[in-house]
Structure 1
Amino acid sequence: MSKSNTITVFEYERLNVGEKGFNQYHFNALVKFNDLHGGKYFTIGFNKITFKSYVGVLQVGSKVIEILPKADDRFSGEQSRSKWQSALLRMLQMAGYIKLNETDSASQSITKRNLLDIYLYAFIKEVERLTHLGLVKKYHQNIGNEKVLKGRLLLSKHIQHNLVHKERFYTEHIVYDFNNKYNNILKTALKIVENCSSDISIKQTVSQQLIYFTDIDSWRGSVSELDKLNFDRKTEQYQDAISLAKLIIGNYCPDFSAGNQHILAFLFDMNKLFENYIFKCLKKYENSLPELNLSVRRQSKQKFWGDKTIRPDIIISYQTKEKALNNFVVDTKWKVIDEDTPSDNDLKQMFVYNFQFKAHKSFLFYPKTNQSNKGITHYEISEFAKDINHGCELYFAELFDEKENLNDKFAYDFILNNILYGLP
């Protein structure tokens, strides 16, 4: 995909018709795509689209629109684009949204591709692996007209269809073959990639892989059914490929307009991505202080008023030498604030978390731009709970190293400074 055919924007940026090669056909297709998804991706204005908190890439016809994260204004132009392209891919990998091995990650063929092609490439590699191992066979029920009698004859259907064709039998029988829902899903995703991708090498590889699916039907179920798919011992090897196929099928909208403006999108809520990324980074260093029995975990929802529930992003627990159990609450916030200006709602939220999850300290966890970490500020002690001394800290994580590459060293520093050196 040539650079001239790619539009790069950042979160919350506005794109007008007539800018950067974005025309009325592209606009109309994106409006319908947005409507199909409940308006969650863009804010629509008169001949303009304002992007929300979703990042990633989408293809409208042959035009690729790349939406990158934006947490600071220290860089601009190509420097900013290159920095956040690399950071987004790394975040997606670390958070488990895309699986690439180290060889793939380092290869020039990957780093030169846009995010859409990287996802398609990852999917094709998974399909290649499965066809090399051998596609799975499954038992399934087959109903139809056959030249030989096998299974159970469906008499009413047989009479309806074969009053003239006496040589046929309308039957219901069990078959064991490759034509099952797992392979159906892969074939449908492959056909979408073949239809959408502008990368010649991807299209050629897909054509080669489709040969293995010649006698396999396409998926005819709804997108919602894909989330209910179960895996057993024979199909567990399909999980990565199916996960990518679900994204392809669920985010494909064919032929929205006369200009063949089909859309294929891989879009991710940056707030959720940041939460998952921070969790995986902290989890990586969970065993860095074995003497404290450190635990980094997600917290399930808990009721706190009627049927209403609350759920912090991350709970960190550790034990001191006295075997006292301590909890920290971490709530990630993908936004830029001044070091002294959290929102009242965020502070009230952390106040409740401290009580509900028995934490004496909680963290509002932000990406760092030019702020400094000042330590904990305690909530005022109330008459109702005089013996409970607890507080909240605004923590600004430096996500990049000195070369402006995404780096998870902040997670180790956070654990070291706030647990080992911050023991009560």
Structure 2
Amino acid sequence: MVQSVVVREYARLTTEKVDGTSIESTLDRAQISQSAFDWICKLNQKFSAAGASLAIVEGRTWLRLDKHVGVIETPCGTRIEILPKHHESGDVIHESRALLQRMIAASFDLPAREVGAADLQLFNAPLTEWVMGRFLAALERIVKTGIRFDYRRVEEEQRYLRGQLNTVRQMRQPPGKQHFFHIRHDIFDPDGAENRLLKLALEQVSKTTRDAANWKLAGELRSLMSEIGSSKDVDGDFKRWRNERLMSHYRPVKPWCELILNQQMPLSVAGNWHGLSLLFPMDKLFERYVAAWLRRSIPPTIRLRSPAASEYLTVHDGDKMFRLEPDLLLESTNDKWVLDTKWKKLDAADRGNKYGLSQGDFYQLYAYGKKYLAGQSSSELVLIYPATESFSKSLPVFDYGDGMKLWVLPFDLTGQVLIDSEETTLPIGFHAFEKKAA
């Protein structure tokens, strides 16, 4: 029996019965089958061994999810969709799905597409169905435009002559096989690296999708691509993917293909289970989303490094140790700005608890400033948190002394703007040009 569960970050999953009195409480607590519970516990052990954390096990019947979003599909058929814990009111599920899809598309530079009336239901579909639907739509456009055929060199042994005779191998032919010819010739077929990857991704979608429209379209595309073989070397074929002019109509489908085949994930579920499971560490996704927004917002004269990794905390016995890696570094000809993102809720009214800020983060930013901004008369560092009802404007500036200051700014995920950035000297938007002219 297929079970679909929708929860959000830090939700608790259990094998016991859960009585949800509201949509919010249901998103924070959910019941799953024993087999799904056991599989997630085993998966969590693999994550822990790799230095990550998927969940915290609380006894034999409860576990608490960590800071990951996406979809997990278990071998027993349970699909667990984990949404960002950002919206607290309204249509929480729809808004959280839309936010997650927007962040994924921006973070991985996925091709944008207008959402029409026919796409509204798909847009509100679970993450995996949304990814598979976008992939199928992009692949359908390639098939309609025309699948790329190329000449491929074939060397084989036949009873007839075709193309060019391989003289060296023919002279070494044993007496009992002299009636066979070693030949080489070219075949004009679609068996290229790009098409093999698309066929493999298409087969995976056909096996995984539960959406009737996706399943129907996948079946039609499979019949049209029946003569193409599936990729046997995914990594190698992606390296052989060509970006030349004649392959320009393939570019929109590549990011979706990478998502389907788990080639572009910050974190993905691998193993013997071949369901489509996509997991994203929310802090990393937020960092990449802000970085994508910055690239669109800074003038061409500013360079963005994400992450920066050129400075070290100390030198020991002639060797550099403890590399410092801020999430974002903006560089102009004369100035630099260090920015770091944190996926955490702050409370601007809770001065007694330091707004929810971490002392360790302030130590970290101080080290970044000393190493990356050394030599500047005035240095600005920025900590970026998601904007919420309790954190909708910048906090008063924090002064490290010696001309080094730290700003804590909210990033509006809905409006896609860094709130109060004009209070800083960050070269963002139109005010960046005004400051430069001044």
Q: TM > 0.5 between the two?
A: yes
1:49 Cα deviation from its structure 2 partner: 4.6
Give the secondary-structure state (helix, strand or coil) at the position aligned to 2:365: helix
1:391 Cα deviation from its structure 2 partner: 1.8
1:374 corresponds to 2:395: yes
Give the secondary-structure state (helix, strand or coil) at the position aligned to 1:235: helix
Q: Which runs of 5+ in 2 are unaligned?
A: 18-29, 263-267, 315-319, 349-353, 426-430
Distance 2:151 2:321 in 1: 43
CA deviations over 1:303-356 (Å, ceiling 9, x no partner): 32415432322234569xxxxx44322111111245524323211221122233
Give the secondary-structure state (helix, strand or coil) at the position aligned to 2:97: helix
1:86 Cα deviation from its structure 2 partner: 1.9
**1:335/1:114 CA distance change after superposition, 3 Å:** same
**1:155/1:25 CA distance change after superposition, 3 Å:** farther
- Aligned partner letter, 1:416: E
Q: What residue in structure 1 maps to residue 382 of structure 2?
A: 363
Q: What residue in structure 2 maps to residue 336 of structure 1?
A: 345
Q: 1:263 aligns with which of 270, 275, 281?
A: 275
Q: What residue in structure 1 maps to residue 6 of structure 2?
A: 8
1:152-163 alignment, distance < 5 Å: 152=166
Q: What residue in structure 1 maps to residue 255 of structure 2?
A: 243
Total equivalences in the alignment: 385
Distance 1:226 1:309 in 2: 34
TM-score by length of 1: 0.77
1:184 Cα deviation from its structure 2 partner: 0.7
CA deviations over 1:50-109 (Å, ceiling 9, x no partner): 43322112333543211111147x44xx74323312211222233345434123598323
- Aligned partner letter, 1:377: F
Q: Which runs of 5+ in 1 are unaligned?
A: 257-261, 288-292, 320-324, 381-387, 400-405
1:196 corresponds to 2:196: no
Give the secondary-structure state (helix, strand or coil) at the position aligned to 1:267: strand
Contact 1:188 1:219 in 2 (8 A): yes
Q: What residue in structure 1 maps to residue 36 of structure 2?
A: 26
1:68 corresponds to 2:83: yes
Q: Bigger CA drift: 202-211 or 36-45?
A: 36-45
1:407 corresponds to 2:415: yes
Query: Once the two structures are aligned, what percentage of the paired residues are identical?
Result: 21
- Aligned partner letter, 1:346: D
CA deviations over 1:216-236 (Å, ceiling 9, x no partner): 111111x44355344231334
Q: 2:101 aligns with which of 81, 86, 89?
A: 89
TM-score by length of 2: 0.74
Q: What residue in structure 1 maps to residue 304 of structure 2?
A: 297
1:268 Cα deviation from its structure 2 partner: 1.7
Distance 1:54 1:146 in 2: 56
Give the secondary-structure state (helix, strand or coil) at the position aligned to 1:244: helix
CA deviations over 1:141-196 (Å, ceiling 9, x no partner): 4355545444538959x979x979x8765655543421121111111111111111
**1:28/1:243 CA distance change after superposition, 3 Å:** farther
Q: 1:214 aligns with which of 192, 213, 226?
A: 226
Q: What residue in structure 1 maps to residue 423 of structure 2?
A: 417
Contact 2:194 2:241 in 1 (8 A): no
Contact 1:153 1:172 in 2 (8 A): no
Distance 1:111 1:242 in 2: 20
Distance 1:148 1:21 in 2: 67
Asked which structure has the greater RCO (Cα within 8 Å, sep 6+), the reply is 1
